[in-house]
Copies of this chain bind each other. A is one copy, B any other.
Amino acid sequence: MRNFDYYNPVKILFGKGKIAEIAKWIPKGMKVMMTYGGGSIKKNGVYEQVMDALQGFDIVEFGGIEPNPKYETLMRAVELAKQENVGFLLAVGGGSVIDGTKFIAAATCFEGNEPWDIVAKGARVNAALPLGAVLTLPATGSEMNSGGVITRQSTLEKLAFNSRHVFPKFSVLDPMVTYSLPMKQVANGVVDTFVHVMEQYYTFPEQAEIQDRFSESILKTLIELGPKLIHAEKPNYEDRANFMWAATMGLNGLIACGVSQDWSTHHIGHELTAFNGLDHGITLAIVLPGVMNATKIKRREKLLQYAARVWNIDTDQPDAADQAIARTEQFFNELGVKTRLSDYGVGIDTIDRIEKRFRERGDFALGGIDDVNVDNVRAILTSRL
């Protein structure tokens, strides 16, 4: 096990009806900016629940944060927050709204030249507005971590940032608010969570027994839950609750403690979203099997552990590793997520652009381990056509 630091001060309020408790966790007298996305919260009752809970607070609204939240949009929110002298941000939405709100929180207090430097140049975040979250879509884990991913429309860049100052002070996870989600978003959320776990797990054996077993716990839970969620005639509270908690545990830092990580599937996927607008979850379902194939020799030992413990594959069979990769892709397909670039009309031209961009950025390893790199990203993506 490697040395590590772990710190996660997010207060989780989990369960039905918990939105009603949020006022307790927002300092009295603060002007609150409530951020949200395309307005689905105004149709499914979440908006009313939040407004009821915030009675007595002075509230500013900022709606319209899009999936893959755009720098251009968020900077308008920063202006509004400054103008209105906002003291607390409340993100009501999925990972995009929460990521975007984290960026608003940091950018409002940013003293450098241009807040884009926070993502593009890793400019240091020294302060941020305090924020809370009401999660509506389990997927990204943003509700219990200190990271965010922001897209710049003008340059088609999708980049991540991280700062301890943007941990939410609290996050409400009420499984009921997921009932109105389109099934496609549920499927994408399952894929996103699955891949988050894989990127912290599918590397090398490092004798981190608890972390490995926790990762396998989340993966097995998703494998059991996924088809139930997708094929349910109506939403089941317990399944939604388990999905929500699995997604949060998948990216709150816990399973990353003391182990190697490889975020190449996300990094390659971000480019597919930036250039072609593909849903984030879809890009991961496309890329992961390619990354697994490209790394299966070097990472054979961990891949066989995954095969045995997660899929109950008999690892005495010579093709156990390939079976594990195939089962992974099949799992995504069974959720209704297609896993080939050609399924989405993406071709060689995009692969050219992605390879070029990675070469220009000058990073050799794309996700932290050098067996996925600028020299094999073309082969990986071509294998996914």
Interface stretch of the complex, out of A108-116, A211-219, A262-270: A211-219
A94 to B48, CA, bound (A): 49
> Which of B9, B11, B246 has a CB less than 8 Å from the CB of A210?
B246
Residues of the B chain whose Cβ atoms lie less than 8 Å from the Cβ of A241: 1, 207, 258
Docked Cα-Cα span, A214 to B17, in Å, equals 26
> Is A221's CB within 8 Å of the partner chain B?
yes
Given contacts A9-B9, A209-B242, A210-B245, contact A14 B217 (CB under 8 A): no
CA–CA, A225 and B208, complex, Å: 12
Query: For A6, what are the chain B residues with a Cβ–Cβ distance below 8 Å?
Result: 11-12, 14
Size of the A side of the interface (Cβ < 8 Å), in residues, is 41
Shortest CB-to-CB span from A99 to chain B, Å, is 21
Query: How many Å lie between the Cα of A216 and that of B214 in the bound state?
Result: 9
Q: Tell me the complex Cα distance, A285–B216, Å.
A: 29
User: Which of A11, A209, A238, A245 lies at the interface centre, i.e. has the most chain B CB atoms within 10 A of its CB?
Assistant: A209
Within 8 A of B (CB), among A298-333: none
Query: How near does chain B come to A214, taking the closest CB pair, in angstroms?
Result: 6
Query: Bound state CA distance, A211 and B241, in angstroms?
Result: 12
Binary interface profile of A, 1-39, with partner B (CB < 8 Å = 1, else 0)? 111111111111111111000000000000000000000
A224 at the interface (CB under 8 A from B): yes
Q: Which residues of A contact B (CB under 8 A)?
A: 1-18, 207-211, 213-214, 216-218, 220-221, 224-225, 238, 241-242, 245-246, 249, 254, 257-258
Residues of B within 8 A of A220 (CB): 213
Residues of chain B lying within 8 A (CB to CB) of residue A3? 14-18
Are B208 and A242 interface neighbours, CB within 8 A?
yes
State in angstroms the CA–CA spacing of A26 and B380 once bound together: 48
Of A1, A5, A15, A210, chain B has the most CB atoms within 10 Å of the CB of A210
Residues of B within 8 A of A210 (CB): 217-218, 221, 242, 245-246, 249
Q: Are B8 and A14 in contact (CB under 8 A)?
A: no
Q: In the complex, A8→B167 CA distance in Å?
A: 13
Contact A257 B14 (CB under 8 A): yes
Q: How far is the CA of A221 from the CA of B254 in the complex (A)?
A: 17
Instruction: Quote the shortest CB–CB distance from A22 to chain B (angstroms).
Output: 12
Minimum Cβ distance to chain B for residue A172 (Å): 10
What is the bound-complex CA distance between A311 and B182, given in angstroms?
A: 40
Residue of B nearest to A215 (CB): B217
A257 to B11, CA, bound (A): 12
A111, B335: Cα distance in complex, Å:
58
The 5 closest A-B pairs by CB, nearest first: A3-B15, A213-B217, A9-B9, A207-B238, A6-B12
When chains A and B are docked, how far (Å) is the Cα of A217 from the Cα of B220? Answer: 12
Give the residues in chain B near A221, CB-CB below 8 Å.
209-210, 213
Q: How far is the CA of A246 from the CA of B242 in the complex (A)?
A: 23
Given the interface contacts A217-B214, A242-B210, does A12 sit within 8 Å of B17 by beta carbon?
Answer: no
Contacts of A16 in B (CB 8 A): 3
Shortest A208–chain B CB gap in Å is: 7
Contacts A210-B245, A210-B246 given; does A8 touch B8 at CB 8 Å? yes
Residues in B with CB closer than 8 Å to A14 are 1, 3-6, 257-258
Most chain B CB atoms below 10 A, which of A14, A208, A218, A220 = A14
Closest chain B residue to A13 by CB distance? Answer: B5
Closest B residue to A10 by beta carbon equals B7
Residues of B within 8 Å of A224, CB to CB, are: 209
